[in-house]
Amino acid sequence: MPQKRVLVFQPIHEAGIAALTSAGIEVVRAPDARRETLLAMIPDADGLIVRTTGMIGGEVMDRAPRLKVIGRHGVGVDHIDLEAARQRGIVVVNTPEANSQGVAEYAVGLMLSACRFLPTADAAVREGRWAERERLIGAELHGHTLGIIGLGRIGSRVGRICRLGFQMRVRYYDIVRKHKEEKALGIEFASFEEVIAEADILTLHTPLTPLTRHMMNRETLSRMKQGAYLINTSRGEVVHLDALVESLRTGHLKGAALDVFPDEPLPPEHPVLRLPNVVLSPHMASHSEESMVRMSLVAEDVVRVLTGQPPRYPVLPE
């Protein structure tokens, strides 16, 4: 039997590479993340491991007659055409539990950064503007209301940290009510409208679907509390970025912290880059050492599929 070959389209932790090579699979690493590179290298691949760059649709799959499995290093699969994969008999797998703690901790870090002006304070010290300390009077998390949209693996961890660690009042909305988490953490279920209207800090933890695309738009942002903060570590398209810029410019929202954007990298001319009341990071909420190891081990499910075993975490079309 010829040796199986897996194309790793973007760099992953060596733990994942080791999982492939120890199973006797040849690993081919793409030199860059350009679409042209993917289309040129995919024809000889039995498996593909991807992160967040590029749409993996029918055009890519049709270039790869040997392709049996696509491994998503992470959770979100909105850039993989699941129906096209199903039609071609290609299994899609991901790592739904790998980055939950890392992203949750990062989301809380963004809350602290936005509410206490940490990036601005850092810049002030480096630039010799010590007197800025008199102006940078922030808000504590303690005692304020946190709104969570999406109480899945990440959202529930954020709720736990903020409820038990900061004694925040936590209200959430999810399409499925989570009675167990409510009881364990002392958090409250409410409608979407109630959550966004009452939150001092609103944090988003939803997948990107037709229902959640631009969920936070001019109308919904206007219904948020005056002076509230918006945190997004989910998907960039969940927020209408231009509407958010408008809300921040007018002062309706006091601040925001964003790790994800509709276009990545963020265009250098985008007005959000010029707003002083926004904390920005380059889609790195999951970039803890521990999370990177766990996400790379999507390779284990890739091996399972290529050796005729059922995967642990298959992703099915909705």
* Catalytic residue set: 235, 264, 283
How far apart are alpha carbons 8 and 299 in whole angstroms? 10
Do residues 111 and 142 make contact, with C-beta atoms less than 8 angstroms apart? no
